[in-house]
Amino acid sequence: MSDWVDVAAIGDFPAGSVRSVEVDGAQVAVFNVDGTCYAIEDVCPHDGGILTGGVVEGDVVVCPRHGARFCIRTGKVLAPPAYEDVVAFPVRIEAGVVQVRDERWD
């Protein structure tokens, strides 16, 4: 069973912010969208670029390399050149700390 990984204190993670963290060997982008935290894999499936440097438009992140778009809430691809979704991870707030876990290996 994978463990929950601390990302940041919720007070240090304001709405509109994003952080890249490692969770069980995977790079994960954690976004605070309007006060709710979401986590997706921080790798564009089109060419392996990171997503955390991309523009965030509401609940969408735009890959900074070639413009593929992904839903931050679900990981679904919304626009090419990517055609594969990114993995979405569960997020929780525990004792004031944002936590993420990778359930793929459970």
pLDDT at position 104: 86
pLDDT of residue 105: 74
Which residues of the chain, if any, have pLDDT below 70?
Answer: 1
User: In this predicted structure, what is the pLDDT of residue 1?
Assistant: 54
Would you report the helix, strand and coil content of the chain in percent, each value rounded to 5? 5, 45, 50
- Strand, coil or helix: 33: strand
What confidence tens digit (pLDDT) does each residue in 23-53 have? 988 999 999 999 999 999 999 999 899 999 9
* Total of domains in the chain: 1
Q: In this structure, is residue 64 part of a structural domain?
A: yes
The CATH number given to whatever domain includes residue 72 is 2.102.10.10
Q: What is the pLDDT, as a whole number, of residue 24? A: 87
pLDDT of residue 61: 98
Closest CA to 89 of 18, 29, 17: 29
- Structural domain range at position 18: 5-101
